[in-house]
Amino acid sequence: MIRGQEWLIVLLIVVLIFGARKLPELARSLGASAKEFRKGIEEGGKEAAAEQASDTSEVSDS
């Protein structure tokens, strides 16, 4: 598990790599990516549930 000092070191490395001006843009991009990922997971789960339900009904109909 990452603790306080380790987070500080990671943040310092990120600032050195991307620069302080790009951090807000990078954070927005990361947030949008996480939102899209969660949305995709939800949609995939709904599709899987619907497919499973249709497979179950086909077996019941037989």
Q: What pLDDT digit, counting tens, does each position of 39-57 carry?
A: 999 999 998 888 888 877 6
Total residue length of the chain: 62
Residue 38 · residue 46 · CB < 8 Å: no
pLDDT on residue 4? 87
Predicted confidence at residue 57, as pLDDT, reads: 67
Task: Measure the CA–CA gap between 43 and 35, rounded to whole angstroms.
Answer: 12
Domain count, the chain: 1
Angle at alpha carbon of residue 25, lines to 22 and 34, rounded to 5°: 130
Q: Which residue range is the domain that position 21 belongs to?
A: 4-61
